[in-house]
């Protein structure tokens, strides 16, 4: 079988993005030029009709065209690039350390998610997958590459390290995918991405998927994509009709109680905060009050992060407290509520946090908590994101808070054997210590701030306990 990327057509030079094309009509996956083994796997998994981004991009990608896809997360992009990548790699065998296809993603969680999503189809086509990410054993990843893997799913930093160690070579990579390209650029991976793209075959196929196509992403497009077909089929978050946006104005001393009641709802909730310390502090508070909460941030080891996500997906954890490490690519079925405990200060951050809910046609709500003095700035950020939220003043224990979020009082029974936290409707604990330093960048005074904030929270809890028990 001759593969379309065996041609000698040169790549490089300025890209000439074509006009955005409408989705290709496709009644089902069977109407697309996919191998029988892939179609059987899709059928076995209950997938019959492609999502719009898949129907639009698959015909061009299967022909070997460069593809530029724009769409919010949750639109089905993984199969949109994964199925053609696997189909066009099928029948080849990789030499040790020399993969044939590469998928670059910004985070470990997304790398594992992409790998798991594509694994059934790779197995059906007898292709070997290797996941290359930081925080995991580099020795095992080196061994997997040495044994041979046709497809590598990688974060740029770890792949760069492996290449430096001569554990991987990209000279035979014919198909390269950049998923969530804007986040890779935002996270400072641009130099590594450029270096990696310079090492893959110049005449290979490139597919780039991103929620936004400006700045560094635009430079990548013009440098590395050749005459790409452009598809933009998903609306921005502000126009997703199944997503509701709320700004809840809270009283400062009541803020912790409001968050606790929301976290204790019947159903899963994802809560975003700005810093690792804030995430850990809130998680401890929630667990002390009987809420099955788990923390996710860059300070956790990869096995810890993987375990926490698995527990959240299975229902063992119902409240996931996270920094923006969870804002891109993360998919959890039936997640219908996202809460910005710390309001985002950038429109892109809001869009990506919001994108964790109302995915693949499902419905969901995004709630942003603000103090009175934060209303104007938060309103500006949401307006730039194209969001017109419903603004409501709420207090803990009120019916309106429960109506919007499902909030309820927690059990108050500690999950970790420690003393019970005060029930939220009786506490006036100030909401301090959340958002003192950005994730991954602690200042010199971080330890003293952390100790002071812990003392203040403990004092507030003791005072509330005294008021409650006389």
Integer Cα distance of 162 and 168 in angstroms: 6
The dotted CATH code for 4-232 is 3.40.50.300
Distance in Å from the first CA to the final CA of the chain? 82
pLDDT at residue 278 greater than cutoff 50 = yes
pLDDT at residue 460 greater than cutoff 60 = no
- Residue 249 pLDDT level (bands cut at 50, 70, 90): very high
What residues does 245 pair with on adjacent strands? 366
Per-residue pLDDT tens over the stretch 59-109? 999 999 999 987 655 568 899 999 999 999 999 999 999 999 999 998 888
pLDDT at residue 357 greater than cutoff 80 = no
pLDDT at residue 428 greater than cutoff 50 = no
pLDDT at residue 469 greater than cutoff 60 = no
Lowest mean pLDDT among 32-41, 73-82, 393-402: 73-82
Integer Cα distance of 116 and 112 in angstroms: 6
DSSP character at residue 427: -
Residue 88: closest CA among 29, 147, 1, 26? 1
Per-residue pLDDT tens over the stretch 287-304? 999 999 999 988 888 788
Residue 449: predicted pLDDT: 45
**Higher model confidence: residue 170 or residue 53?**
170
- Residue 371 pLDDT level (bands cut at 50, 70, 90): very high
Q: What stretch(es) of the chain map to CATH 3.40.50.300? A: 4-232, 237-435
Integer Cα distance of 81 and 274 in angstroms: 32
Mean pLDDT of 318-330: 79
User: pTM of this prediction?
Assistant: 0.61
Residue 431: predicted pLDDT: 41
Integer Cα distance of 264 and 292 in angstroms: 8
Residues 6+ apart with CB under 8 A from 458: none
The dotted CATH code for 237-435 is 3.40.50.300
pLDDT at residue 331 greater than cutoff 80 = no
Residue 418: predicted pLDDT: 54
Integer Cα distance of 158 and 116 in angstroms: 19
The structure tokens listed for 428 are 């006036």
């Amino acid at each position: 079988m001759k593969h379309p990327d065996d041609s000698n057509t040169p790549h490089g030079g300025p890209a000439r993005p074509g006009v955005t094309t409408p989705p290709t009509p496709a009644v089902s996956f069977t109407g697309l030029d996919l191998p029988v083994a892939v179609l059987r796997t899709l059928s076995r998994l209950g997938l019959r009709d492609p999502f719009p981004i898949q129907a639009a991009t698959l015909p061009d990608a299967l022909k070997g065209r460069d593809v530029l896809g724009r769409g919010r997360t949750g639109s089905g992009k993984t199969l949109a690039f994964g199925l053609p990548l696997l189909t066009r790699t099928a029948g080849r065998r990789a030499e040790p350390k020399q993969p044939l296809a590469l998928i670059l993603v910004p985070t470990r969680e997304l790398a594992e998610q992409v790998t798991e999503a594509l694994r059934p189809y790779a197995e059906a086509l007898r292709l070997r997958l290797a996941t290359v990410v930081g925080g995991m054993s580099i020795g095992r990843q080196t061994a997997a590459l040495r044994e041979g893997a046709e497809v590598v799913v990688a974060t740029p930093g770890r792949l760069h390290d492996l290449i430096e160690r001569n554990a991987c070579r990209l000279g035979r990579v014919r198909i390269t995918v950049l998923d969530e390209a804007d986040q890779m650029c935002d996270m400072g991976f641009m130099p590594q991405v450029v270096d990696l793209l310079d090492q893959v075959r110049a005449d290979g196929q490139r597919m780039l998927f991103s929620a936004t196509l400006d700045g560094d992403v635009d430079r990548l497009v013009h440098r590395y994509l050749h005459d790409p077909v452009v598809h933009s089929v998903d609306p921005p978050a502000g126009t997703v009709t199944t997503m509701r946006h709320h700004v809840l104005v809270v009283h400062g001393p009541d803020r912790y109680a409001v968050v606790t009641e929301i976290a204790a709802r019947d159903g899963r909730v994802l809560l975003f905060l700005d810093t690792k310390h804030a995430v850990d502090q809130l998680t401890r508070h929630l667990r002390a009050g009987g809420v099955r909460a788990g923390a996710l941030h860059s300070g956790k080891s990869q096995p810890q992060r993987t375990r926490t996500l698995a527990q959240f997906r299975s229902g063992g954890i119902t409240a996931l407290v996270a920094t923006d490490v969870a804002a891109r690519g993360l998919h959890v079925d039936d997640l219908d509520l996202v809460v910005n405990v710390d309001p985002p200060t950038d429109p892109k951050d809001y869009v990506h946090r919001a994108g964790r809910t109302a995915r693949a046609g499902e419905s969901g709500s995004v709630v942003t908590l603000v103090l009175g003095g934060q209303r104007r700035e938060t309103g500006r950020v949401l307006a730039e994101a194209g969001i017109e939220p419903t603004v409501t003043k709420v207090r803990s224990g009120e019916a309106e808070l429960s109506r919007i979020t499902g909030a309820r009082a927690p059990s108050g029974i500690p999950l970790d054997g420690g003393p019970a936290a005060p029930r939220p409707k009786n506490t006036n604990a100030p909401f301090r210590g959340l958002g003192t330093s950005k994730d991954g960048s602690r200042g010199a005074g971080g330890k003293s701030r952390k100790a002071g904030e812990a003392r203040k929270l403990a004092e507030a809890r003791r005072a509330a306990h005294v008021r409650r028990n006389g």
